[in-house]
Structure 1
């Protein structure tokens, strides 16, 4: 553990409560980007969404839009499949009763 890790550990309560100075926040952010050990400790003691909100955004907005579109398409296909299944079942039951009542 380096001296930077010790400083980040000392600053962590202020950083997490958003009470640290601008320079301290910058130091902690940079260190979390560089140090896997401190990042692992951060994740252990703080919810994952905090890490995602504190570190710079690395995703691509278009990727999220594409993922949302795929999810909508999948949901639509599931509904179409479900409605087809229900329609086929109802049709088969109708044919069964029509054939039975002849």
Structure 2
């Protein structure tokens, strides 16, 4: 079982605790503690805020655990090796909204009123 602790490490950086299970249930102490391996950003990295398992990304026949790290645009596989680098941008147009205007023009050119 993997448990994310996005602000659980020193400096408000994230951790993921991995607990092994057996006939008696989960062990009370984590078998592994995962940390992101990159330069420290100027803000918390939220490593461990998103976890996803059950997909074999490296083709070795075993499901991998993906750990999201908000703020560093990186997702890492269970071994701590970065495998995905993502970035996103949001632009809003127009930058000013007229509250008196009760409609909009879609990219197709049609007008929608509400």
Given the two structures, how large is their TM-score scaled by the length of structure 1?
Answer: 0.25
**Rg: which structure is higher?**
1
Query: Normalized per residue, which structure has more helix?
Result: 1
